[in-house]
Amino acid sequence: MERVLISGAAGFLGSNLCNKFLKEGFEVIGMDNFITGSPKNLSSFIAHPNFSFINQDVSEYISIKGSLDYILHFASPASPIDYLRIPIQTLKVGSLGTHNILGLAKAKQARVLIASTSEVYGDPLVHPQTEEYYGNVNPIGPRGVYDEAKRFQEALTMAYHNFHGLETRIVRIFNTYGPRMRLNDGRVIPAFMGQILRGEDLTVFGDGSQTRSFCYVDDQVEGIFKLLFSDYHLPVNIGNPVEISILDFAHEIIKLTQGQSKIVFKDLPVNDPLQRCPDITKAQKILNWNPKTDRKTGMKKTFEYFKSLSRDELYETTYKNFDKYIKK
């Protein structure tokens, strides 16, 4: 049985990846320190005989007994509310954490897949974004700690590939949604759905003309899985290229959920990307991958998940595990 280590296992994508690899017959070792992840995300497979868990920050030295065949590095804050409040930890997990993961992969002779992001493109001047685009990033802006952590992560990964001959894969993840998202993470889908469930107005920043494209989590996980087992070591975009403006999306969510919310407008945050849409030509050609879940179907499943949350989860506005990390 092949063994895989997944960092960030208690997070949204990490926990869904644990499910995928367990179903595919792997022995899975999950690692997380719960700074943004939740033990609840592990509940469906924590007792699985092929799953084990290590409570650890990947920015600290990592030691794993036995062999490893694959490592997936998904530990990182991933939304503005996270990395604006814990900027140092965001930079550390992208630098020190990635260095530790790559060093472990080298020692174990394991193939490693690094989770990068569409944020490496910043506020793009090229549309849609191809993997060859270098991006338009403000390194000292409010989003810089996340953007630059991920850009450094990619550079370090390629250095290990080129200098040490390490088998590496890099996925650039575009907006992904689905069950196990944190309702209070500040991203547009949980923000809108949380506001509707609480009977609040929907907040649209700017005039709502900025665009996003949304990929359902099952499609994202399948793309990541295929990339890991491909022979391609350069970055690959995984996302859904169907684009929609935030204002149109707000109306769509109200209609889909049969909500009574109104739409209110607030100032656009600094460096908020005005366009975000992947060119997935590489994923289509190299991985034979395309997203299969249409937005209406995916949003219905996601809304049902959010409806199942407790009242405390619905009204929680800050993440309780942040506080013990703030002063570090």
- Percentage with pLDDT > 70 across the chain: 96
Residue 327 has pLDDT above 60, yes or no: no
Task: Please report which confidence band the pLDDT of residue 325 belongs to, taking 50, 70 and 90 as the band edges.
Answer: low
Q: What is the pLDDT of residues 276-288, one digit of tens each?
A: 899 999 999 999 9
Active-site residue, from 83, 121, 146, 177: 146
Is 220 contained in some domain? yes
Task: Please report which confidence band the pLDDT of residue 328 belongs to, taking 50, 70 and 90 as the band edges.
Answer: very low
- Reply yes or no on whether 146 is catalytic: yes
Residue 185 has pLDDT above 90, yes or no: no
Tokens of 272: 């908020």
Q: What is the pLDDT of residues 65-79, one digit of tens each?
A: 999 999 999 999 988
Residue 301 has pLDDT above 90, yes or no: yes
Is 249 contained in some domain? no
Q: Closest Cα to residue 319, out of 77, 89, 116, 95?
A: 77
Residue 195 has pLDDT above 70, yes or no: yes
| CA–CA distance, 8 with 141 (Å, rounded to integer) | 25
- Percentage with pLDDT > 90 across the chain: 84
pLDDT of residue 225: 98
Q: What domain count does the chain have? A: 1
Burial of 238 (0-12, 13-18, 19+ CB in 10 A): buried
State the CATH number of the domain containing residue 152: 3.40.50.720
| CA–CA distance, 76 with 20 (Å, rounded to integer) | 20
A 10 A CB-CB count for 216 gives: 23
Q: What is the pLDDT of residues 110-155, one digit of tens each?
A: 999 999 999 999 999 999 999 999 999 999 988 999 999 999 999 9
**Spatial contact of 16 and 225, defined as CB atoms under 8 Å apart:** no
**Spatial contact of 114 and 98, defined as CB atoms under 8 Å apart:** yes
Peptide bond into 77 cis (omega under 30): no
Is 304 contained in some domain? no
The more confident residue out of 230 and 268 is 230
**Spatial contact of 264 and 203, defined as CB atoms under 8 Å apart:** yes
| CA–CA distance, 238 with 281 (Å, rounded to integer) | 10
| CA–CA distance, 193 with 259 (Å, rounded to integer) | 9
Is 68 contained in some domain? yes
SS (H, E, C) the chain: CCEEEEECCCCHHHHHHHHHHHHCCCEEEEEECCCCCCHHHHCCCCCCCCEEEEECCCCCCCCCCCCCCEEEECCCCCCHHHHHHCHHHHHHHHHHHHHHHHHHHHHHCCEEEEEEEHHHHECCCCCCECCCCCCECCCCCCCHHHHHHHHHHHHHHHHHHHHHCCCEEEEEECCEECCCCCCCCCCHHHHHHHHHHCCCCEEEECCCCCEEECEEHHHHHHHHHHHHCCCCCCCEEECCCCEEEHHHHHHHHHHHHCCCCCEEEECCCCCCCCCCCECCHHHHHHHCCCCCCCHHHHHHHHHHHHHCCCHHHHHCCCCCCCHHHHCC
Q: What is the pLDDT of residues 199-228, one digit of tens each?
A: 999 999 999 999 999 999 999 999 999 999
Is 300 contained in some domain? no
For the chain, the distance separating the N- and C-terminal CA atoms, rounded to the nearest angstrom, is 39
Note down the domain range covering 141: 3-181+214-241+278-292+319-326
Q: What is the pLDDT of residues 155-178, one digit of tens each?
A: 999 999 999 999 999 999 999 999
pLDDT of residue 13: 98
Look-up of token digits 């070792």: 29
pLDDT of residue 29: 98
pTM score: 0.94
The mean pLDDT of 89-110, rounded to a whole number, is 98
Is 152 contained in some domain? yes
Average pLDDT of the residues of the chain: 93
Is 161 contained in some domain? yes
